[in-house]
Amino acid sequence: MSLVVVDHVSKSFGGLQAVSDVSFHVNEGEILGLIGPNGAGKTTLFNLVAGAITPDRGRVRFNGLDITGLPPYRISRAGLARTFQVARPFLGMTCYENVLVALIGRAHPAPDSERPELIRELLDFVGLSGKESFLASSLNLIDKKRLELARALATRPRVALLDEALGGLSSIEMDQAMGLIRSIRDKRGVNFVWIEHVMGAIMTLCERLLVLNQGMLICEGTPADVARDARVIEAYLGAPDAGD
Protein backbone atom coordinates (compact mmCIF):
# COMPACT_ATOMS: atom_id res chain seq x y z
CA MET A 1 0.00 0.00 0.00
CA SER A 2 1.19 3.51 -0.72
CA LEU A 3 1.74 5.51 2.46
CA VAL A 4 1.64 8.91 0.82
CA VAL A 5 -0.40 9.62 -2.28
CA VAL A 6 -0.04 13.04 -3.86
CA ASP A 7 -2.78 13.47 -6.41
CA HIS A 8 -2.55 16.18 -9.11
CA VAL A 9 -1.38 18.92 -6.76
CA SER A 10 -0.85 22.48 -7.99
CA LYS A 11 0.16 25.72 -6.29
CA SER A 12 0.91 29.15 -7.67
CA PHE A 13 2.16 32.30 -5.99
CA GLY A 14 0.80 35.27 -7.91
CA GLY A 15 1.80 34.63 -11.50
CA LEU A 16 4.42 32.03 -10.61
CA GLN A 17 3.33 28.41 -11.03
CA ALA A 18 5.51 26.86 -8.29
CA VAL A 19 4.09 23.34 -8.47
CA SER A 20 1.91 22.25 -11.34
CA ASP A 21 -0.13 19.06 -11.49
CA VAL A 22 2.30 16.84 -9.59
CA SER A 23 1.32 13.29 -8.65
CA PHE A 24 3.43 10.70 -6.90
CA HIS A 25 3.27 8.12 -4.16
CA VAL A 26 5.59 6.77 -1.47
CA ASN A 27 5.72 3.02 -0.98
CA GLU A 28 6.21 1.16 2.27
CA GLY A 29 9.91 0.77 3.14
CA GLU A 30 11.13 3.25 0.58
CA ILE A 31 13.61 6.09 0.44
CA LEU A 32 12.26 8.22 -2.37
CA GLY A 33 14.62 10.80 -3.82
CA LEU A 34 13.37 14.18 -5.03
CA ILE A 35 15.80 16.08 -7.23
CA GLY A 36 15.71 19.01 -9.60
CA PRO A 37 17.52 22.26 -10.35
CA ASN A 38 17.26 25.23 -7.98
CA GLY A 39 13.81 26.78 -8.02
CA ALA A 40 12.18 23.62 -9.37
CA GLY A 41 9.57 23.67 -6.58
CA LYS A 42 10.92 20.87 -4.40
CA THR A 43 10.59 22.71 -1.10
CA THR A 44 7.17 24.08 -2.08
CA LEU A 45 6.08 20.51 -2.73
CA PHE A 46 7.23 19.57 0.79
CA ASN A 47 5.33 22.53 2.22
CA LEU A 48 2.19 21.35 0.44
CA VAL A 49 2.52 17.82 1.81
CA ALA A 50 3.40 18.89 5.38
CA GLY A 51 0.54 21.40 5.56
CA ALA A 52 2.57 24.62 5.75
CA ILE A 53 0.65 25.79 2.66
CA THR A 54 -2.57 24.52 1.10
CA PRO A 55 -2.61 23.45 -2.55
CA ASP A 56 -4.77 25.35 -5.05
CA ARG A 57 -5.84 22.06 -6.60
CA GLY A 58 -5.32 18.38 -5.87
CA ARG A 59 -5.35 16.20 -2.77
CA VAL A 60 -2.72 14.74 -0.45
CA ARG A 61 -3.52 11.45 1.25
CA PHE A 62 -1.47 9.94 4.02
CA ASN A 63 -2.01 6.44 5.31
CA GLY A 64 -5.53 6.42 3.91
CA LEU A 65 -6.39 9.80 5.46
CA ASP A 66 -7.02 12.93 3.39
CA ILE A 67 -4.64 15.48 4.92
CA THR A 68 -5.11 18.26 2.35
CA GLY A 69 -5.41 21.58 4.17
CA LEU A 70 -5.08 20.12 7.66
CA PRO A 71 -3.06 22.27 10.10
CA PRO A 72 0.60 21.14 10.42
CA TYR A 73 0.18 19.83 13.98
CA ARG A 74 -2.56 17.44 12.88
CA ILE A 75 -0.39 16.17 10.03
CA SER A 76 2.52 15.69 12.42
CA ARG A 77 0.28 13.74 14.80
CA ALA A 78 -0.89 11.55 11.90
CA GLY A 79 2.74 10.45 11.49
CA LEU A 80 4.36 12.72 8.93
CA ALA A 81 7.53 14.56 9.97
CA ARG A 82 9.74 17.01 8.14
CA THR A 83 13.18 18.54 8.53
CA PHE A 84 14.50 21.73 6.99
CA GLN A 85 17.30 22.71 4.68
CA VAL A 86 18.66 24.91 7.45
CA ALA A 87 18.19 23.06 10.75
CA ARG A 88 15.80 24.91 13.04
CA PRO A 89 16.08 23.48 16.56
CA PHE A 90 14.63 25.58 19.41
CA LEU A 91 17.87 27.47 20.01
CA GLY A 92 17.33 28.68 23.56
CA MET A 93 16.44 25.20 24.79
CA THR A 94 18.58 22.16 25.60
CA CYS A 95 18.77 19.06 23.42
CA TYR A 96 16.72 17.25 26.04
CA GLU A 97 14.00 19.89 25.97
CA ASN A 98 13.96 19.99 22.17
CA VAL A 99 13.13 16.29 21.97
CA LEU A 100 10.74 16.53 24.91
CA VAL A 101 8.51 19.01 23.08
CA ALA A 102 8.12 16.51 20.24
CA LEU A 103 7.28 13.69 22.68
CA ILE A 104 4.56 15.85 24.23
CA GLY A 105 3.17 16.96 20.88
CA ARG A 106 2.34 13.42 19.75
CA ALA A 107 -1.27 12.33 19.35
CA HIS A 108 -0.63 10.04 22.33
CA PRO A 109 2.05 11.84 24.37
CA ALA A 110 4.72 9.62 25.82
CA PRO A 111 3.99 8.89 29.51
CA ASP A 112 5.88 11.12 31.96
CA SER A 113 7.96 8.31 33.43
CA GLU A 114 9.22 7.05 30.07
CA ARG A 115 10.29 10.42 28.70
CA PRO A 116 13.86 10.65 30.07
CA GLU A 117 14.64 7.14 28.81
CA LEU A 118 13.11 7.77 25.38
CA ILE A 119 14.98 11.05 24.99
CA ARG A 120 18.32 9.49 25.93
CA GLU A 121 17.70 6.65 23.51
CA LEU A 122 16.84 8.99 20.64
CA LEU A 123 19.83 11.25 21.28
CA ASP A 124 22.11 8.18 21.44
CA PHE A 125 20.63 6.92 18.21
CA VAL A 126 21.43 10.08 16.25
CA GLY A 127 24.87 10.39 17.85
CA LEU A 128 24.29 13.07 20.47
CA SER A 129 25.11 10.90 23.51
CA GLY A 130 25.91 12.92 26.58
CA LYS A 131 24.75 16.22 25.08
CA GLU A 132 21.31 16.23 26.71
CA SER A 133 21.96 19.39 28.69
CA PHE A 134 23.70 21.28 25.87
CA LEU A 135 21.85 24.29 24.54
CA ALA A 136 20.84 23.76 20.91
CA SER A 137 22.49 27.10 20.08
CA SER A 138 25.88 25.71 21.19
CA LEU A 139 25.82 22.79 18.72
CA ASN A 140 27.72 22.77 15.42
CA LEU A 141 25.98 22.31 12.09
CA ILE A 142 25.89 18.52 11.92
CA ASP A 143 24.84 18.20 15.55
CA LYS A 144 22.00 20.65 14.91
CA LYS A 145 20.91 18.44 12.01
CA ARG A 146 21.19 15.39 14.28
CA LEU A 147 19.05 17.09 16.88
CA GLU A 148 16.46 17.99 14.28
CA LEU A 149 16.39 14.35 13.19
CA ALA A 150 16.03 13.13 16.80
CA ARG A 151 13.18 15.57 17.30
CA ALA A 152 11.48 14.44 14.09
CA LEU A 153 11.85 10.79 15.19
CA ALA A 154 10.33 11.62 18.57
CA THR A 155 7.05 12.45 16.83
CA ARG A 156 7.07 8.74 15.82
CA PRO A 157 6.65 9.32 12.08
CA ARG A 158 5.78 6.76 9.41
CA VAL A 159 7.15 9.10 6.76
CA ALA A 160 9.77 11.82 7.10
CA LEU A 161 10.38 14.56 4.55
CA LEU A 162 14.09 15.43 4.55
CA ASP A 163 15.05 18.73 2.95
CA GLU A 164 18.74 18.62 2.03
CA ALA A 165 19.90 16.54 4.97
CA LEU A 166 23.48 16.63 3.68
CA GLY A 167 23.77 20.32 2.79
CA GLY A 168 26.90 21.92 4.27
CA LEU A 169 28.38 18.69 5.63
CA SER A 170 31.93 17.42 5.03
CA SER A 171 32.32 14.13 3.16
CA ILE A 172 32.97 12.19 6.39
CA GLU A 173 29.89 13.74 7.99
CA MET A 174 27.90 12.89 4.86
CA ASP A 175 28.80 9.22 5.22
CA GLN A 176 27.68 9.31 8.86
CA ALA A 177 24.41 11.01 7.93
CA MET A 178 23.70 8.52 5.15
CA GLY A 179 24.35 5.61 7.52
CA LEU A 180 21.95 7.21 9.96
CA ILE A 181 19.20 7.62 7.37
CA ARG A 182 19.56 4.00 6.29
CA SER A 183 19.46 2.71 9.85
CA ILE A 184 16.39 4.82 10.67
CA ARG A 185 14.62 3.19 7.75
CA ASP A 186 15.77 -0.32 8.67
CA LYS A 187 15.44 -0.19 12.47
CA ARG A 188 12.54 2.18 12.91
CA GLY A 189 10.52 1.53 9.80
CA VAL A 190 10.47 5.18 8.76
CA ASN A 191 10.05 5.93 5.07
CA PHE A 192 11.69 8.95 3.54
CA VAL A 193 11.13 11.48 0.86
CA TRP A 194 14.47 13.13 0.44
CA ILE A 195 15.40 16.32 -1.39
CA GLU A 196 19.13 16.33 -2.08
CA HIS A 197 21.67 18.03 -4.31
CA VAL A 198 24.46 15.58 -3.51
CA MET A 199 23.91 13.21 -6.43
CA GLY A 200 26.33 10.50 -5.33
CA ALA A 201 24.46 10.11 -2.04
CA ILE A 202 21.00 10.06 -3.50
CA MET A 203 21.99 7.61 -6.22
CA THR A 204 23.31 5.19 -3.57
CA LEU A 205 20.48 5.39 -1.06
CA CYS A 206 17.36 5.70 -3.18
CA GLU A 207 15.68 2.97 -5.15
CA ARG A 208 13.47 5.46 -6.93
CA LEU A 209 13.86 9.12 -7.91
CA LEU A 210 11.49 11.89 -8.87
CA VAL A 211 12.79 14.79 -10.95
CA LEU A 212 11.06 18.14 -10.73
CA ASN A 213 11.69 21.01 -13.11
CA GLN A 214 9.83 24.34 -13.18
CA GLY A 215 7.13 22.89 -10.96
CA MET A 216 6.49 19.86 -13.14
CA LEU A 217 7.38 16.23 -12.60
CA ILE A 218 9.51 15.46 -15.64
CA CYS A 219 10.84 12.01 -14.83
CA GLU A 220 10.35 9.15 -12.41
CA GLY A 221 12.36 5.94 -12.17
CA THR A 222 15.44 4.17 -10.86
CA PRO A 223 18.60 6.29 -10.44
CA ALA A 224 20.12 4.63 -13.53
CA ASP A 225 17.07 5.41 -15.67
CA VAL A 226 16.92 8.98 -14.46
CA ALA A 227 20.61 9.61 -15.13
CA ARG A 228 20.11 8.58 -18.79
CA ASP A 229 16.88 10.50 -19.33
CA ALA A 230 17.19 13.20 -21.97
CA ARG A 231 14.70 15.56 -20.27
CA VAL A 232 16.63 15.37 -17.00
CA ILE A 233 19.94 16.13 -18.67
CA GLU A 234 18.31 19.03 -20.46
CA ALA A 235 16.84 20.39 -17.22
CA TYR A 236 20.22 20.35 -15.51
CA LEU A 237 22.56 21.22 -18.39
CA GLY A 238 20.33 22.94 -20.95
CA ALA A 239 19.28 21.83 -24.44
CA PRO A 240 21.99 20.89 -26.91
CA ASP A 241 22.55 23.56 -29.55
CA ALA A 242 20.99 22.94 -32.93
CA GLY A 243 24.40 23.27 -34.57
CA ASP A 244 26.08 20.53 -32.49
Partner 1 sequence: MTDFLLYLTNGLVMGIIYALFALGVALIVGIMNVVNFAHGELYVLAGYFSALFASALGMHPALAMIMATLCVFVVGLIVERTLIRPTYGNEMYSLIVTFILSIVLQNGYLLIFGPYPRKPPNLVTGATNVFSLFMYGNQRLLGFALALVMIVCFFALIRYTWFGRVVRSVSIDRDMASLMGVNPQRVNLLAFGLGCALAGAAGVILTPIFPVTPTIGVGVSLTAFVVVVLGGMGSFAGCVVGGILLGVMENLGAAYISSAYKQLFGFIILISALFLRPAGLFGRKRA
Which member of 7, 97, 121, 173 binds partner 1 (CB under 8 A)?
A: 97
**Site string (8-37) toward partner 1, x via CB under 8 A:** ------------------------------
CB 63 within 8 A of CB 79: yes
In the sheet where 16-27 sits, what is the strand order? Answer: 16-27, 2-13, 57-62, 65-66
Q: Taking the complex as a whole, how short is the minimal distance between the CB of residue 22 and partner 1, in angstroms?
A: 21
Q: What 3-state DSSP class applies to 1?
A: coil
134 binds partner 1, rule: CB under 8 A: no
% helix, strand, coil for the chain, step of 5: 40, 25, 35
Is residue 132 exposed (0-12), middle (13-18) or buried (19+ Cβ within 10 Å)?
middle
Q: Taking the complex as a whole, how short is the minimal distance between the CB of residue 128 and partner 1, in angstroms?
A: 17
Is residue 38 exposed (0-12), middle (13-18) or buried (19+ Cβ within 10 Å)?
exposed
Which member of 16, 65, 86, 104 binds partner 1 (CB under 8 A)?
A: 104
**Contacts of partner 1 in 161-200 (CB under 8 A):** none
Options 94-102, 122-130, 175-183, 227-235: segment touching partner 1 (CB under 8 A): 94-102
Nearer Cβ to partner 1 (50/205): 50
Q: Taking the complex as a whole, how short is the minimal distance between the CB of residue 69 and partner 1, in angstroms?
A: 14
In DSSP notation, 53-85 reads S--SEEEEEETTEE-TT--HHHHHHHTEEE--S
CB 8 within 8 A of CB 58: yes
d(CA 87, CA 109) in angstroms, rounded, equals: 24
Q: Taking the complex as a whole, how short is the minimal distance between the CB of residue 92 and partner 1, in angstroms?
A: 6
Q: β-strands 16-27, 191-195: how paired?
A: unpaired
Give the CA dihedral 77, 80, 85, 89, nearest 10 degrees. Answer: 30
**Contacts of partner 1 in 72-91 (CB under 8 A):** 72-73, 76-77, 81-82, 88, 90-91
Q: Taking the complex as a whole, how short is the minimal distance between the CB of residue 182 and partner 1, in angstroms?
A: 23
Nearer Cβ to partner 1 (152/184): 152
**List of residues contacting partner 1 (CB under 8 A):** 50, 52, 71-73, 76-77, 81-82, 88, 90-93, 97-98, 100-102, 104-107, 112, 151, 154-155
